[in-house]
Structure 1
Amino acid sequence: MVPITKLEAVIHCKCPRCRQGDIFTGKMYSFSFKGQITNEFCPHCNLRFEREPGYFYVSMFISYAMNVAEMISASVATYVLGLALVYDNLWYYVGILLLTVFVCSPFNYRYSRVMLLHWLTPGLGYVPGSGDEPKNVIKPA
Structure 2
Amino acid sequence: MNTPSKLQAVVECKCPRCRKGPIFSGKMFSFKGQVTNEYCSHCHLRFEREPGFFYVAMFISYAMNVVEMISISVAAYVLGVALTYENLWVYVAIILVGVFLFAPLNYRYSRVFLLHWLTPGLRFVPEISEKKAA
TM bucket, shorter chain:
over 0.9
1:56 partner amino acid: F
Matches within 5 A, 1:7-86: 7-30=7-30, 32-33=31-32, 35-86=33-84
Aligned length: 132
Counterpart position of 1:139:
none
TM-score, structure 1 length as denominator? Answer: 0.91
Counterpart position of 1:118:
116
Identity of aligned residues (%): 68
Q: Deviations over 1:64-101 (max 9, x none)?
A: 00000000000000000001000000000000010000
1:41 partner amino acid: Y
Structure 1 runs not aligned, ≥5 long = 134-141
Structure 2 runs not aligned, ≥5 long = none
Distance 2:94 2:100 in 1: 10
Counterpart position of 2:5:
5
TM-score, structure 2 length as denominator? Answer: 0.95
The Cα shift of 1:9 comes to 0.2
Q: Secondary structure at the match of 1:61?
A: helix
Q: Secondary structure at the match of 2:128?
A: coil
Q: Whose Rg is larger?
A: 1
2:19 partner amino acid: R
Distance 1:75 1:4 in 2: 35
Q: After the TM superposition, list the runs of 4 or more consecutive aligned residues in structure 1 that deviate by more than 4 angstroms.
A: none
- The alignment's C-alpha RMSD in Å is 1.2
Q: Deviations over 1:21-76 (max 9, x none)?
A: 0000011112x22x400000001100000000000000000000000000000000
Distance 1:2 1:129 in 2: 13
